[in-house]
Structure 1
Amino acid sequence: MITGPQIRAARALLGIDQRELARLSGLSTQTIQRMETCQGSVRVVVDSLEKVMTAISGAGVELIVEGVPSIGTGRGVRLIDRKATDSDEG
């Protein structure tokens, strides 16, 4: 599951705006905007999501999918699942 915040974070790491990501992925800026507003799973045509993921990966950023190990060996970030850590502390 890829989320809107992941796409925004990837753009930030690359230092590009929505227009540039749209150009790199061959999609419209409006499609990128819609993807980024999704807090949960991005809800778009699978082909569009694949284009964005390919563009981001091609530019040098790995999107880490929940439950899937990272293939990279460099540094990275991952959001903490607050629900899981909060229940562990109880």
Structure 2
Amino acid sequence: MVSPRQIRAARALLGWSQQELADKAIVSLNALARLESGKVDSRLSTMQAIEAALARAGVEFLPAGQRGEGVRLLDPQA
């Protein structure tokens, strides 16, 4: 599962606002803002929708490990 920091980083790579991501993931802006703040555990379906929207835009999530978690943009033209 991706972390709130990874979601914020992915949005930054894409240059998307919270509203843009919420629209593309078809989730509420309020749910996304709460998720990114780390103040609430979101529904699995919300997390999956957000992760899928970012993946469609070319974001790859790097799992936490010895070198830490991260994100990268696979297609800079996205």
Higher strand content, 1 or 2: 2
Q: How does 1:1-90 map to 2 (within 5 A)?
A: 1-38=1-38, 43-66=41-64, 79=68
Runs of 4+ in 1 over 4 A off after TM superposition: none
Structure of higher CA gyration radius: 1
Identity %: 38
- 5+ residue gaps, structure 1, are 68-77, 81-90
Q: TM-score, normalised by structure 1?
A: 0.67
- 5+ residue gaps, structure 2, are 70-78
- The number of residue pairs the alignment matches comes to 68
Could you say which structure has the greater relative contact order, defined with CA pairs below 8 angstroms and 6 or more residues apart?
2
Q: TM-score scaled by structure 2?
A: 0.76
Counterpart for residue 88 of structure 1: none
